[in-house]
Amino acid sequence: MSTENEGTAVPPAPSAPPVPVDIPAASPQHPAHAPAYAPTDDDPTAQMPVTPPGAPGTPGAPGQPPHAPGAPAYAAANSQGGSPGAAPEGGWPPPPPPHAYPEPGAGGPGDGSGWGTSYAQPAPKPGGRRGGLLAAVLGAALVAGGLGGGIGYTLAKGDDTSSTTVSASDSGGDLKRDAGTVAAVTAKALPSTVTIEAESSSGEGGTGTGFVFDTEGHIVTNNHVVAEAVDGGKLSATFPNGKKYDAEVVGNAQGYDVAVIKLKNAPSGLKPLTLGNSDQVAVGDSTIAIGAPFGLSNTVTTGIISAKNRPVASSDGTGSQASYMSALQTDASINPGNSGGPLLDAKGNVIGINSAIQSSSNGGFGTGQSGSIGLGFAIPINQAKYVAQELIKTGKPVYAKIGASVSLEDTSGGAKITDTGAGGTDPVEAGGPADKAGLKPGDVITKLDETVIDSGPTLIGEIWTHKPGDKVTITYERGGKTDTVEVTLGSRVGDS
């Protein structure tokens, strides 16, 4: 599915993937009559197209309806020096597919790049700074009586000399929000969320969201939110009370699309958001998303969990590497700028990090930046927590692996171990997990534990929900026969 990195989604087993979400830049030169909240091509966040794993006409696993006309699908990727569509160690780092999402002319930012829409770089403002949002403020006059905070009525006597007015008993007083209501959850969570501004050394950048992870000042967000500032750029985080702090990148994981930054001169009394258990989330559970869509900081939206384990592939905007996730899908409104923000359950616990959205191909508000159509995707917090803790400890991500290269081509039958690895390496790492388990080039992996695997990207995303050392059961096909084998996952440190 696509999201603003808010990223590209890979169909569930099978289904379709999404794009990443950063804040679109605003142009102060917009005419006064321009549409309100009109995103521009210099939006800092790029939308990623959906990438269903099925072959043309078969976007998903057997039994699923064909992919909707016009919806982007996973493009075949050619590994450097290897056979087409091959990716090392479970597909990482995979080369970007040759096709862009959406197709050229569809209005999506980043046309011509791989893995969906590329991360949109806002055009530099005067002075080399970009970002911001021009929004027309529309006023509406309330003409009819009885509209507003109080409801009442007037009983007029025949002589019109007196009247009786009935008002709400709590009119003008403080309203107490019951625990568990959206208002109560929001009041508690908002003070621990921040709007992040990232700027590269050349002055380009964008906006995203993050949330307080611990009392030491660590903030968790998406990698694609801070990618511009990783090498010598500038970072800042602004709380809802208006206090702004400079920050630095502690570590970033491109494959997971997770990053940790730390506030400089962090204030005392920081209240980390409570982390929930994303494994216990059920379809239909209520969700609350907090972020800065299109630059509108501290925005709260609600919805439900629409699906779980949705395969999603997205780009960090550089066009060189992709990230994979087995995402939580929600219909809470998520737009560019929501990236990195918390997805909460009804009790205010963080269950995911908003990362990508599936969007229509014609853009939003008549521009190239599409908005929410009710298909948002979040990185499950159980996975994000593990990644964040590793980044705080060592500054580098640790990935689970099977030690085999798999095809990234459009298929619906599973993840095929390629005949040649990336860069001419062996497709099955000698002495690696797959080798020890007896897997060979040409084997087609169709299940990992009880999860159906319909493509290489789906397999990668599912492997990365595990930790090195975990034992998994792999079902595969060879020579027309199906067999299973237990594999102990290995590890790889870093993104390179």
Distance, CA of 285 to CA of 483 (rounded, Å): 36
**Greatest distance between any 2 Cα atoms in the chain:** 99
> Helix, strand, or coil here: 223?
helix
* Nearest one of 210, 191, 174, 193 to 353, comparing CA atoms: 210
Phi, psi of 12 (to 5 degrees): -65, -175
Long-range contacts of 57-61 (CB under 8 A, 24+ apart): 58/412, 59/11, 59/14, 59/15, 59/16, 59/412, 60/11, 60/12, 60/13, 60/14, 60/15, 60/16, 60/412, 60/454, 61/13, 61/14, 61/412, 61/452, 61/454
Distance, CA of 260 to CA of 220 (rounded, Å): 5
> Helix, strand, or coil here: 195?
strand
Phi, psi of 141 (to 5 degrees): -85, 135
Distance, CA of 303 to CA of 277 (rounded, Å): 18
Q: Contact, 377 vs 355, CB < 8 A?
A: yes
Q: Contact, 74 vs 50, CB < 8 A?
A: no
Catalytic residue numbers, as ranges: 224, 257, 339
Distance, CA of 484 to CA of 279 (rounded, Å): 25
Distance, CA of 322 to CA of 10 (rounded, Å): 12
Residues whose CB falls within 8 Å of the CB of residue 185, separated by 6 or more in sequence, listed in order: 288, 344, 346, 347, 348
Distance, CA of 76 to CA of 304 (rounded, Å): 33
Per DSSP, 279 falls in state: G
Per DSSP, 23 falls in state: B
C-alpha distances in Å from residue 28, one per residue of 40, 134, 136, 242, 384:
11, 6, 11, 22, 37
Distance, CA of 156 to CA of 34 (rounded, Å): 46
Residues whose CB falls within 8 Å of the CB of residue 40, separated by 6 or more in sequence, listed in order: 24, 25, 26, 27, 122, 123, 367, 368, 369
Containing 187, the helix (H) or strand (E) segment is: helix 182-189
∠ CA 124-130-134, nearest 5°, is 115
